[in-house]
Amino acid sequence: MAQEITMEDKIMNKPELANFQLNEGLVKEIEDYNEKQKVGYQKRETKKGVIVVILIFGFCVFLFWNFKGYAFLIIFILGWVWVLLDSFIYNFKKTGTKKHAYSFHPLSGNLENYKKAKELYERYQSNFWFSLSGHKFEKEVANILRNLGYKVILTKGSGDQGVDIFVDDIDGKKIVIQCKAHKNPVGPNIIRELQGVVIHFKADKGVLINLGGFTKGVRNFVENKNLYLVDVKDIINLQNGLHSGKWEFAGVNRKL
């Protein structure tokens, strides 16, 4: 039987910049350096392109002036030669047989490895959340909120009147949360139900959590309302402590 993945396993295995001989200052330095090199290369390539166009135009004028009878035929042939040559150069660069025309920061490899490890870690976390049953999912969300210092009441499931978790915000505001562990986006019916729940309990805010996200209709519905949407990425951010005193989810522009 496979060993159950626990929250502690993922937190312990979280990749840190220090593991890759990096820090936030170095990351900014690397990204700025590489961007500067890239922009410089693009400018040089643009200048080369302008010079080539000018030369070709001048050559065409010369041909037309001296060989009027064959000018259009020569221009037609040169045009095809240019198209084929440009296609060859593009494919040559694309296959990777040619090295980059600009240099990278010496620690770029470290940063790339860190980003790959972070992406794998986040994917691993997503798998953990999607593996949970409905009630276990609610418990994990409640545990995260408790660990962040919120007063949390987890309902028993049956007869919950549409609320899975009650939360008191640090400002004393009452929040009702509905949790859905669906792998696919949920539609407007559920968010309309949550709006009714918010009114029924006279709550200040309502939060709909669904791992698989939300349809466009749901996102449009919550505009300018005291309703908030949270998906698996937002849960992972909350789990990793990416908040600033109040809840601040990746997919939500307003603070709860």
Range of the domain at 117: 7-18+110-129
Could you tell me if 27 and 121 lie in one domain?
no
Question: Looking at per-residue confidence, does 64 or 23 come out higher?
Answer: 23
Same domain, 40 and 73: yes
Residues 147 and 204 in one domain: yes
Answer yes or no: do 89 and 119 share one domain.
Answer: no
244, part of any domain: no
Q: Which one is predicted more confidently, 250 or 143?
A: 143
Q: Does residue 88 surpass a pLDDT of 70?
A: no
Residues 161 and 88 in one domain: no
Torsion of CA 123, 128, 134, 136, to 10 degrees: -150
CATH for 235? 3.40.1350.10
CA distance 10 to 122: 9
Whether residues 43 and 119 share a domain: the answer is no
**Dihedral (CA of 24, 14, 184, 138) sign:** negative
Q: How many domains does the chain have?
A: 3
The Cα–Cα gap between 229 and 232 comes to 10
CB 171 within 8 A of CB 191: no
**Same-domain status, 28 and 45:** yes
**CA dist., res. 33 & res. 109, Å (int):** 13
What is the pLDDT averaged over residues 210-229? 92
Question: Is 250 domain-assigned?
Answer: no
Q: Which residue has the higher pLDDT, 15 or 101?
A: 15
For the beta sheet containing 227-230, the strands, ordered from the edge strand earlier in sequence to the opposite edge, are 151-154, 165-168, 174-180, 205-210, 227-230
pLDDT attached to residue 91: 52
How do strand 174-180 and strand 151-154 relate by DSSP bridges? unpaired
Residue 245 clears pLDDT 60, i.e. is over it: no
Residue 168 counted as domain residue: yes
Q: Summarize pLDDT for 36-78 with one digit per residue, the tens.
A: 888 887 787 777 777 767 767 777 777 667 766 566 666 666 6
- Nearest Cα to 167, choosing from 195, 138, 137, 136? 138
The answer to whether residue 186 scores a pLDDT higher than 70 is yes
| pLDDT tops 60 at residue 103 | yes
Check whether residue 84 and residue 59 sit in a common domain.
yes
Q: Is the pTM above the cut of 0.75? A: no
Q: What is the pLDDT of residues 24-42, one digit of tens each?
A: 899 999 889 888 888 887 7
Residue 253 domain-assigned?
no
14 and 114 share one domain: yes
Domain contains 137: yes
Q: Identify whether residues 146 and 225 lie together within a single domain.
A: yes
- DSSP character for 250? T
Mark whether 217 and 152 lie in a shared domain: yes
CA–CA distance from 220 to each of 42, 178, 184, 225 (Å)?
A: 40, 18, 18, 10
Does 200 fall in a domain? yes
124 and 12 co-located in one domain: yes
